[in-house]
Amino acid sequence: MSVVHVTDENFENEVLKSDGLVLTDFWAPWCGPCRMLGPILEELEKEMGEKVKVCKVNVDEEGTVAQKYGIMSIPAVFLFKGGEVVETMIGLAPKESFEEAVKKHLD
């Protein structure tokens, strides 16, 4: 599997109705920290892809979803489980921070 680029149209199916954990990165191409976070999340997906689905939402193109979740600062990484937000991380952080968040919410 690879990182899934999510839109307003497929957010519900890809994130909210997804089985298991879904780590969702709200980002924009002009955001420096967002671009730095991209490779970290790709690496995380390669290492933990069987445990967590990694999705990206471009807030410039997918404003409805970003507005629904009150995205005011990016990067904003939301961890969803059963269609609900179980953890929120704002800003750039080391890969270990995201790994710990995922492990904390595994069944």
Contact 65, 25 (CB under 8 A): no
**Cα 40 to the chain's mean position, in Å?**
12
Q: Of 21, 34, 44, 55, which one is the catalytic site residue? A: 34
Is residue 55 part of the annotated active site? The answer reads: no
Q: Of 31, 86, 89, 92, which one is the catalytic site residue? A: 31
Alpha helices per DSSP H over 2-54: 11, 32-48
Contact 7, 66 (CB under 8 A): no
Is residue 31 part of the annotated active site? The answer reads: yes
Residues carrying an active site annotation: 31, 34
